[in-house]
Amino acid sequence: MSKYHQQSSQEVMKILGVTSQGLNDYDVQSRQEEYGLNKLVEGKRTSTFAVFFGQFKDLLVIILMIAAFISFLLGEVESTVVIMIVITLNAILGTVQHVKAEQSLDNLKALTTPIAKVLRNNQIVEIPSEDVVVGDILYLDAGDYINADGRLLESYNLHINESSLTGESLSVEKNSSTIKEENVIIGDKKNMVFTGSFVTNGRGTVIVTAIGMETEIGKIANLLDTAKEKKTPLQVSLDNFGGNLALGITIICLAIFTIDLFRGRELVDSFMFAVALAVAAIPEALSSIVTIVLAFGTHKMAKENAIIRKLYAVESLGSVSVICSDKTGTLTENKMTVQQVYVDQKVIPHDQIQTKNTVEKNLLLMSLLCSNASLTDQKEIGDPTEIALVKLGKQYNLDALNIRDHNLRVAEIPFDSDRKLMSTVNRINNKNIMITKGALDVLLSKTNKIVTSEGIIDITEVNRKKIEEVNHNFSMNGLRVLAITYKEIKPNRSIGVEDEKDLIFAGLIAMMDPPRKESKAAVESCINAGIKPVMITGDHKITAISIAKQIGILKDPSEAIEGHEIEQLTDKQLQEKVQDISVYARVTPEHKIRIVKAWQEKGNVVAMTGDGVNDGPALKQADIGVAMGITGTEVAKDASSMILTDDNFSTIVKAISNGRSLYTNIKNAILFLLSGNAGAIFVVLYATVLGLPVPFLPVHLLFINLLTDSLPAIAIGLEPHNKNIMKDKPRDIRTPLLSKKFTTQVVLEGLLIAIATIIAFRMGLQTGDTLTATTMAFTTLCLSRLIHGFNSRSKESIFKIGVFSNKYTWLAFLIGVLCLHCVLFIPTLADMFDVATLNGVQLVFIYALATMPFIVNQWYKLLFVRSK
Ligand code: ATP
């Protein structure tokens, strides 16, 4: 049997049992049962079991296991059991967190599953690409990722990048003609398309011949590489910090251990000191808490229409100082409606076109023929600019699909935002008529005739001036203008962009795309937050200026330039100018990348929006590439780090404010954890230096670090938005989290906790019972850290931000206190944790001492920290 590429498209349709109406529901169901879902099998993930055992590789856990073993040798079986229970609990917790984080990333991914446009039951529908079956007729447009292998039925200037399969980075042109040879390599199968490649230009329809693992890529790759989520810079620096800390602590521990031995301390005691210090210092929960808070944060953002694709984006969001945004659809509604037309030298309102007048009617007919949009069952499919044309036709009972059926299209050069033109060739009254529509500034120079009611005449300078004047007036009112032109061409001739010349001017169609209601407030909020909003559009400069003025992006027209002016500037000159420009009009995607780079060179963190296939490089270059969820191509989404499900500019601003809050919250949670650890370290060091007994047992510190400290840390991570967060300037991305100021704060807050604990410890020692002393030290340390959770909520006093405004901190505090009291007062637990029974007076002292760091901290913040 010959292969699909050797058969004509009609034969392939026949073999696969498909009609020109596409598959029906019954076919789809039976094929899905036969072939399964269109999915590549994922690579194996680390099993939960392996993740669990992975937890035991941690340096701290190893130290603890040695401690447990030594305790066992010394006959302290209880200690061994407790340490082992804690280690196991920790491993379970770590595993659950790992699995949860993976799940939440999967959920985020599921929100961005690719879709495919297919013909089913004679209607074009959009379905998840997973549901595509063999025999489906698939529609491909520029920017689409191809998710199945197929044989081309039709192609219009279709260019496909197959680098993932062939390694060839240049796109190849495809067509539907049959290939004679049987054995041709993939790169030469010009009439087939393959999973994993994407459309760079043009349009096409294909019939699906293979899905899932049966596709060429499925056969080679066998397993889809489930690229692991990279750690964020913050996570990496915390990991490094943790590593360095562990190393430093090990050295200090060894030193103390040796000194103690020389001093004649018992070997076991010295060892327990060293272990206590190690446990006190290593912030076990840090990394997982950051992951949990990031996961919560991205979940919240997704609910607010911003899907984070790359976790590192969350951190950079808070530092964004420039947002370069598309106009159409992002700042405006992308709901175009035709307002006026210019035809036969008259400006006519959209509802007063005379279809009896052939010149006027022809303008409408040509606008419908040179468009791909359609209105079916009240559903609008296609580009909003073209939908506006179809709606205009409908106003006059001109049905686009019907008209296209009667004047068949024989060729097309699809629209692309570089050319800003689109052309079709239709059979009209037995003639081949090429219709070209697009931006007037591009088209006018390509016209040499004009249609009037007196017939077609040579275009004069006066005509040109008049057309330009009308275009200017339309644009001044913020209208987008399309020029419609045409010419007759010889039959049976293919067309290329070089044919878009010597055209006859038919008229102008001006449409309104109003700014989104939210845009103005969002722009204002950006400006207050020290973020520069910049509009980048393919539209006309005057239209862009008009819209930019309405939403407050631009004050003076001198802040706007056009793409061709950028070309005159060197990179250096553009850098110098970039701060003064708010609107870039008539730009191509290549200009976008230069604009991003110019801002970045000036030390800015840039968010850039994009939707087209050519936007990929600029989206990747930007610090935050933002793709449009509704109108964006799959290629743009793939290159982005964030996707807007509502395509709305104000969602970017909301995401930035979420990013800022999240970063502050994470920083506060880290401050909380590290200052608590510092407190414990100071107490242990103090006891070592003064030759006092060990103030805490390793299990005490483990209890605090893993349990009672984790909950407040997460609660701090969930601190609600500070209203004033968008009044600050963007955070300088170069300032490290663990800055000098931050470290000083860790040390000072740690000292306060240490002082309270040391006082309690000394009081305990005065009773002459070491067990009472360690119990008092442990209880004070645990309680003061729990209360300290309230301090770490904000750099302002909690009496200013609202004592009860974060209910999670209260919940965490109460659970923590409950756990502590269980350990103190339930005899079995008290035995396991080696704690003495405290009397009422001791407890009152402990509560008073544990509150002291809180009082000092709040007193300082009330007096010295000014709120905004
Ligand atoms: P942005 O989304 O970046 O703000 P845009 O969507 O306004 O830009 P393009 O879609 O690239 O920019 O359109 C640029 C110009 O191309 C428009 O001003 C219009 O004149 C012309 N144009 C837009 N859509 C079409 C189309 N479907 N057919 C022909 N010409 C078009």
Asked whether residue 625 is assigned to any structural domain, the reply reads yes
User: Best of 141, 367, 371, 385 to mutate for ligand 1, by most ligand atoms within 8 A of CB?
Assistant: 385
Cα–Cα distance for residue pair 626/659, rounded to 1 Å: 14
Single-letter amino acid code for the residue at 29: Q
Full DSSP string of 702-731: HIIIIIITHHHHHHHHTPPPPGGGGGSPPP
Query: How many A from CA of 202 to the centre of ligand 1?
Result: 16
What average pLDDT does this structure show over 706-719?
A: 87
pLDDT, tens only, 41-73: 665 567 788 888 888 877 667 877 887 888 788
Checking if the pLDDT of 177 tops 50, the result is yes
Tens digits of per-residue pLDDT, 551-603? Answer: 999 999 999 999 999 999 999 999 999 999 999 999 887 899 999 999 999 98
Kindly report the protein residue whose alpha carbon is nearest to atom 20 of ligand 1.
439
Domain end among 512, 534, 561: 512
- Angle between helix 710-717 and helix 286-303 axes, rounded to 10 deg: 30
Give, rounded to a whole angstrom, the gap between the first and last alpha carbons of the chain: 77
Q: Name the residue with the closest Cα to ligand 1, atom 6.
A: 328
My answer on whether 669 and 790 are in the same domain is yes
Task: Kindly state whether residue 349 falls inside one of the protein's structural domains.
Answer: yes
* Whether residue 664 sits in one domain with residue 594: no
Residue nearest atom 29 of ligand 1, based on CA coordinates: 438
pLDDT of residue 111: 66
CATH classification at residue 208: 2.70.150.10
Q: pLDDT for 663-687, tens place per residue?
A: 899 999 999 999 999 999 899 889 9
Q: Is 326 a catalytic residue?
A: yes
Q: Is the CB of 415 under 6 A from ligand 1?
A: yes
Looking at the DSSP bridge assignments, the partners of residue 473 are none
Q: From 162, 165, 164, 168, select the one nearest 200 (Cα to Cα).
A: 162
Instruction: Indicate whether 53 and 126 sit together in one domain.
Output: no
Q: What's the gap in Å between 353 CA and the centre of ligand 1?
A: 24
Give residue for tokens 């959770």.
789
Residue nearest to atom 31 of ligand 1 (CA): 438
d(C-alpha 846, C-alpha 829), whole Å: 20
Give yes or no for residue 750 having a pLDDT over 90: yes
Q: Which atom of ligand 1 is nearest to the CA of 329?
A: 2
Q: In ligand 1, which atom is closest to the CA atom of 586?
A: 14
547/477 same-domain check = no
Cα(420) to ligand 1 centroid in Å equals 6
Q: Is the Cβ–Cβ distance between 360 and 545 less than 8 Å? A: no
Structure-block tokens of residue 175: 């067509």
Percent of the chain with pLDDT over 70: 95
Residues 166 and 214 in one domain: yes
Which whole number is the average pLDDT over 247-252? 78
Is 142 a domain residue?
yes
pLDDT value of position 271: 75
For ligand 1, atom 24, name the residue with the nearest CA: 385
Closest approach atom of ligand 1 to CA 611:
2
- Whether 77 and 144 share a structural domain: no
Helix (H, G, I), strand (E, B) or coil at 661: helix
Q: Is 167 exposed, middle or buried (0-12, 13-18, 19+ CB in 10 A)?
A: exposed
The average confidence (pLDDT) of the chain is 87
pLDDT at residue number 378: 67
- Given 58, 141, 144, 326, the catalytic residue: 326
Question: What is the whole-number distance in angstroms between the Cα of residue 328 and the centre of ligand 1?
Answer: 8
Query: Which token pair is 411?
Result: 């060729």
Check residue 721 and report its DSSP letter.
Answer: P
Does 120 lie in the same domain as 184? yes
Q: Let me know if residue 280 belongs to a domain.
A: no
Answer whether 387's CB lies under 8 Å from 329's CB: no
Q: Are 737 and 667 in contact (CB under 8 A)?
A: yes
Closest residue to atom 19 of ligand 1, CA basis: 439
271 part of a folded domain: no
Which residue in this structure is represented by tokens 């980048």? 536
Give a yes or no: residue 264 inside a domain. no
Tell me if 482 CB under 6 Å of ligand 1.
yes
Q: State which ligand 1 atom lies nearest to the alpha carbon of 327.
A: 4
CB contact at 8 A, 679 and 785? yes
Is the distance from the beta carbon of residue 386 to the nearest atom of ligand 1 less than 6 Å?
Answer: yes
Residue to substitute in 436, 539, 630, 649 for testing ligand 1 pocket (most ligand atoms within 8 angstroms of CB): 539
* Cβ contacts of 690 within 8 Å, gap of 6 or more: none
Flag whether pLDDT at 868 surpasses 60: no
> What separation in Å is there between the alpha carbon of 480 and the centre of ligand 1?
8
Return the structure tokens found at 275: 């272990």
539 CA to centre of ligand 1 in angstroms: 6
Q: How confident is the model at residue 228 (pLDDT cuts 50, 70, 90)?
A: very low
pLDDT at 245: 75
Nearest-angstrom CA–CA distance, 830 and 643: 52
Specify the ligand 1 atom closest to the Cα of 543. Answer: 18
pLDDT in tens, 338-393: 999 999 999 999 999 999 999 999 999 999 999 998 887 667 878 889 999 999 99
Q: Does any ligand 1 atom lie closer than 6 A to the CB of residue 383? A: yes
**Per-residue pLDDT reduced to its tens digit, 441-478:** 999 999 999 999 889 999 999 999 999 999 999 999 98
Give me the mean pLDDT over the 772-801 stretch: 95
How many Cα atoms occupy the beta-carbon half-sphere of 538 within 13 Å?
A: 23
CB 404 within 8 A of CB 369: yes
Give the whole-number percent of the chain exceeding pLDDT 90.
Answer: 50
For residue 568, the model assigns a pLDDT of: 93
- Are 414 and 317 found together in one domain? no
| Residues 6+ positions from 301 with CB-CB distance below 8 Å | 307, 308, 314, 655, 658
Whether residue 105 contacts residue 99, with contact meaning beta carbons closer than 8 Å, is answered with: no
Cα 370 to middle of ligand 1, angstroms: 14
User: 538 in ligand 1 pocket by Cβ < 6 Å?
Assistant: yes
- Ligand 1: does its nearest atom lie under 6 Å from the Cβ of 537? yes
Could you give the angle at the alpha carbon of 671 between the alpha carbons of 668 and 675, nearest 5°?
Answer: 150
CA distances to 320, 379, 409, 739 from 402, rounded to whole Å, are: 49, 17, 12, 68
At 147 the pLDDT is 86
Atom of ligand 1 nearest to the CA of 437: 29
Angle made by CA atoms 852, 858, 863, in degrees to the nearest 5: 130
The tally of domains found in the chain comes to 5
Nearest atom, ligand 1, residue 438 CA: 30
Is 415 in contact with 421 (CB distance < 8 Å)?
yes
Range of the domain at 392: 337-512
At 360 the three-state DSSP class reads: helix
Q: Using CA positions, which residue lies closest to atom 5 of ligand 1?
A: 538
Q: Name the pLDDT band for 232 (thresholds 50, 70, 90).
A: low
State the distance from the centre of ligand 1 to the C-alpha of 479, rounded, in angstroms: 12
Q: Any idea which residue has 């997982």 for tokens?
A: 288
Digit-coded pLDDT (tens) for 259-280: 777 877 777 777 777 777 777 7
Encoding tokens for residue 656?
Answer: 């930035």
DSSP-H helix ranges across 282-429: 286-303, 312-317, 358-369, 384-395, 400-406
Ligand 1 contacts CB of residue 385 (under 6 A): yes
Q: Please say which residue of 477, 512, 547 terminates a domain.
A: 512
pLDDT for residue 105:
64
CATH number, domain of 401, equals 3.40.1110.10
Query: Which residue's alpha carbon is at the smallest distance from atom 12 of ligand 1?
Result: 538
| Same domain (yes/no): 451, 501 | yes
What's the rounded Cα separation, in Å, for the pair 773 and 430?
Answer: 103
Tokens at 222, concatenated? 């066998």
Within this chain, do residues 78 and 135 fall inside the same structural domain, yes or no?
no
Domain co-membership, 697 together with 779:
yes
Pocket probe for ligand 1: among 156, 203, 327, 328, the residue whose CB has the most ligand atoms within 8 Å is: 328
For a pocket test of ligand 1, which of 418, 471, 482 has the largest count of ligand atoms closer than 8 A to its C-beta? 482
Does the CB atom of residue 591 touch ligand 1 within 6 A? no
Q: Is the CB of 480 under 6 A from ligand 1?
A: yes
> Is the minimum distance from the CB of 562 to ligand 1 under 6 angstroms?
no
Ligand 1 centre from 647 Cα, in Å?
Answer: 17
Give the HSE-up count for residue 394: Cα atoms under 13 Å, Cβ half-sphere.
15
pLDDT at 150 over 70: yes
- Strand ranges in 744-841 using DSSP code E only, listed in sequence order: none
Token pair in block for residue 29 = 């169901």
Q: Which atom of ligand 1 is nearest to the CA of 481?
A: 20
DSSP H or E segment with residue 838: none
- Indicate which atom in ligand 1 lies nearest the CA of residue 440: 20
DSSP letters of 388-437? HHHHHHHHTT--HHHHHHHS-EEEEEEEETTTTEEEEEEEETTEEEEEEE
Distance between CA atoms of 192 and 149, rounded to whole angstroms?
7
Question: What spacing in Å lies between the alpha carbon of 577 and ligand 1's midpoint?
Answer: 26
Give me ligand 1 centre to Cα 179, in Å. Answer: 37
> What number of other Cβ atoms are within 10 A of residue 431's Cβ?
11
- The verdict on the CB of residue 142 being under 6 Å from ligand 1 is no
Strands 447-452 and 431-438: unpaired
CA 251 to chain centre: 42
For ligand 1, atom 16, name the residue with the nearest CA: 420
How do residues 471-501 score in pLDDT, each as one tens digit? 999 999 989 999 999 999 988 777 888 999 9
Q: Which amino acid is at 311?
A: L
The residue from 58, 85, 101 where one domain ends is 101
The pLDDT assigned to 224 comes to 41
CB of 350 closer than 8 Å to CB of 388? no
Which distant-in-sequence residues (6+ apart) come within 8 Å of 45 by Cβ? 102, 226
Say if strands 137-141 and 149-161 run parallel, antiparallel, or are unpaired: unpaired
3-state secondary structure 4-62: HHHCCHHHHHHHCCCCCCCECHHHHHHHHHHHCCCCCCECCCCCHHHHHHHHHHCHHHH
Would you say the CB of residue 326 lies under 6 angstroms from ligand 1? Answer: yes
Element (H, E) at 651: helix 649-689
Does the beta carbon of 563 lie inside 6 Å of ligand 1? no
Q: Report which protein residue has its CA nearest ligand 1's atom 14.
A: 538
Both 706 and 783 in one domain: the answer is yes
Instruction: Decide: residue 356, CB within 10 A, 0-12 exposed, 13-18 middle, 19+ buried.
Output: exposed
Nearest CA owner, ligand 1 atom 18: 539
Task: Please return the burial class of 304, using the count of CB atoms within 10 Å of its CB with bins 0-12, 13-18 and 19+.
Answer: middle
Q: Is 254 within a domain?
A: no
- Indicate the pairing of strand 479-489 with strand 431-438: antiparallel
Tell me how far apart the alpha carbons of residues 295 and 302 are, in angstroms, rounded to a whole number.
11
576 backbone φψ class: left, alpha, beta (φ>0; ψ -120 to 50): alpha
Q: Which pair of tokens denotes residue 679? A: 């407190």
Pocket lining: 615 vs ligand 1, CB cutoff 6 Å: no
Q: How far apart are CA 376 and CA 480, in angstroms?
A: 25
Q: Which atom of ligand 1 is nearest the CA belonging to 420? A: 16
Does the pTM exceed 0.95? no
| Number of the ligand 1 atom closest to the C-alpha atom of 386 | 27
**Of residues 325 and 47, more confidently modeled:** 325
DSSP characters over 227-249: PPPPPPHHHHHHHHHHHHHHHHH
Residue 9's pLDDT band, with cuts at 50, 70 and 90, is confident
How far apart, in whole angstroms, are the C-alpha atoms of residue 577 and residue 567?
13
pLDDT value for 212: 85
Q: How far is the CA of 139 from the centre of ligand 1 (A)?
A: 21
856-857-862 Cα angle (round to 5): 100
Identity at 738, one-letter amino acid code: L
Q: Is residue 835 part of a domain?
A: yes
